[in-house]
Amino acid sequence: MANAVQLPLRERKKLDTRRRIFEVASHLFVDLGVQDTTIEAIAKAANVSKPTFFNYFSGKQEVLRELMTRMDEEFVSYILHSVATGHSTQQRLQLLMTQSGQHIQRRPDMTKLLLIEGMSDLGCPTVETSRMSILNDAMATLVQRGRREGDIDTKFSIELQVQILVGGYLYGLLNWLSGDLKELDKTLQETALFLAEALAPR
Amino acid sequence: MANAVQLPLRERKKLDTRRRIFEVASHLFVDLGVQDTTIEAIAKAANVSKPTFFNYFSGKQEVLRELMTRMDEEFVSYILHSVATGHSTQQRLQLLMTQSGQHIQRRPDMTKLLLIEGMSDLGCPTVETSRMSILNDAMATLVQRGRREGDIDTKFSIELQVQILVGGYLYGLLNWLSGDLKELDKTLQETALFLAEALAPR
């Protein structure tokens, strides 16, 4: 924050404008869908000209990409936080699911939008591959920690354990997407308990 | 087959034309991508006029939808076959993964295409919801069988167990999509073993 205060007025105004366009665009995406949100509508709602929009973003896809990056970063921070503060794999998974559930419930429509758009992105393998790696790598730190501390089995590969963790979690979200928000919390907590048991040594 | 032989020549010719358009279109989808495959190109390659194409299909999306339905039906038939013939949950999951792996390796490009297009479909919730229900329902028969026979835990809900099974399997395919075909068989077999253990009572 101290740095922000020291920025020259011109730079601060630029940052404000960028932030405003970003906020307005993300709300329009949720309300109208990405497809039906025009650059004109974003510029109008942000009170800037169309050329000004293009001074800040190359197009709708860049705004969307940044929204996804932020969501990914937040989710990775939940994982790392749970690894740092939890006292067992079960507790870490429960923490993670609690934070993730709270995040989703704050803006369920945004989560739905980003899940759907993120899936469509599979058509663009490079982007999607790197998003999956980021998520998988973060989850691997949770698995490695549990393996070191003895509450995750070392008989199977870390990659496979990550696959089941991330896949089980994401598919829970997909089921929720097509159904009932009320049940999200319950689903996530049960998922955490189930996965902790599934990973434990026998 | 006996029925097919009894069809009047005109009806048989119609079926042949439909089949030819379908085959040609699916190959073009794989080679060029759905986006870049035009109706003109499909009609030309199938040796029919564009209006004739529209006598059989309302557009590219209908051809794609039929490809997906066929893949879903085949996958459901693998599940039901494994439930009917396997002697334990582990054996059933291994059978399922073997059949699924063989299916994918026969036409890996087609599988990739349908996975990617199927994911993009999430933008159209009604369709995707029903595809997920079909898959989940089939997998639930496998889970129920294992619960009755005692090698699947009854402490967790069937829905949750299906979520982990389908999610773990699909995420394995997504990882494979972004990586190496060689490893698919190994990944699927390890996934089967892991999931059978994860579902077992403690």
**Which pLDDT score, from 0 to 100, does residue A127 have?**
61
A76, A138 contact by CB (below 8 A): yes
Q: Let me know whether B15 and B89 are in one domain.
A: no
**Which pLDDT score, from 0 to 100, does residue B88 have?**
97
The larger pLDDT score, comparing residue B101 to residue A129, is at B101
Mean predicted confidence (pLDDT) in B6-13: 86
Residue of chain A whose Cα is closest to the Cα of B153: A194
Q: Kindly state whether residue A15 falls inside one of the protein's structural domains.
A: yes
Q: Kindly state whether residue A1 falls inside one of the protein's structural domains.
A: no
Q: What is the pLDDT of residues A56-72, one digit of tens each?
A: 999 999 999 999 999 99
* Number of domains present in the structure of chain A: 2
Quick check: B115 contacting A, CB < 8 Å?
A: yes
Q: Let me know whether A27 and A75 are in one domain.
A: no
Residues shown for chain A: 202
Helix axis angle for A158-177 and B125-149, nearest 10°, is: 120
**A-B C-beta contacts closer than 8 Å:** 118
Which amino acid would we find at residue B132? Answer: M
- What stretches of chain A adopt beta strand conformation (E)? none
CATH code for position B127? 1.10.357.10
Calculate the CA dihedral of residues A46, A48, A54, A58 and round it to 10 degrees.
0
Quick check: B167 contacting A, CB < 8 Å?
A: yes
**Which pLDDT score, from 0 to 100, does residue B123 have?**
56
Q: What is the pLDDT of residues B131-187, one digit of tens each?
A: 888 999 999 999 999 999 999 999 999 999 999 999 999 999 888 887 766 688 889
Mean predicted confidence (pLDDT) in A32-44: 94
**Which pLDDT score, from 0 to 100, does residue A41 have?**
97
Note down the domain range covering A104: 65-199
Cβ–Cβ below 8 Å for A163 and B120: no
Q: Let me know whether B162 and B174 are in one domain.
A: yes
| Among candidate residues B11, B27, B57, the one where a domain is terminated | B57
Cβ–Cβ below 8 Å for B122 and A177: yes
Q: What is the pLDDT of residues B30-49, one digit of tens each?
A: 999 898 999 999 999 999 99
Q: Let me know whether A30 and A113 are in one domain.
A: no
- Both structure tokens of A86: 């939890």
Which amino acid would we find at residue A121? Answer: D
Residue of chain A whose Cα is closest to the Cα of B131: A178
Q: Quick one: which of B92, B108, B106 has its CA closest to B176?
A: B108
A164 to chain B: which residues are within 8 Å by CB? 164, 167-168, 171, 191, 194-195, 198
- Which residues 24-63 in chain A show a CB within 8 A of chain B? none
ipTM of the complex: 0.86
- Both structure tokens of A24: 């307005």
The larger pLDDT score, comparing residue A54 to residue B107, is at A54
Q: Let me know whether B108 and B180 are in one domain.
A: yes
Q: Let me know whether A73 and A50 are in one domain.
A: no
Which amino acid would we find at residue B168? Answer: G
Mean predicted confidence (pLDDT) in A74-88: 96
**Which pLDDT score, from 0 to 100, does residue B130 have?**
81
Q: What is the pLDDT of residues B167-176, one digit of tens each?
A: 999 999 888 8
Distance CA B85, CA B130 (A): 27
CATH code for position A28? 1.10.10.60
Q: Let me know whether A114 and A188 are in one domain.
A: yes
Q: Let me know whether B132 and B89 are in one domain.
A: yes
Location of structure tokens 């042949």: B16
Q: State the CB neighbour count (10 A cutoff) for residue B161.
A: 25
Q: Let me know whether B139 and B192 are in one domain.
A: yes
**Which pLDDT score, from 0 to 100, does residue A177 have?**
81
Helix axis angle for A108-120 and B108-120, nearest 10°, is: 160
Q: What is the pLDDT of residues A136-192, one digit of tens each?
A: 999 999 999 999 999 999 999 999 999 999 999 999 988 888 776 668 888 999 999
Determine the 3-state secondary structure of A202 from DSSP: coil
Q: Let me know whether B116 and B149 are in one domain.
A: yes
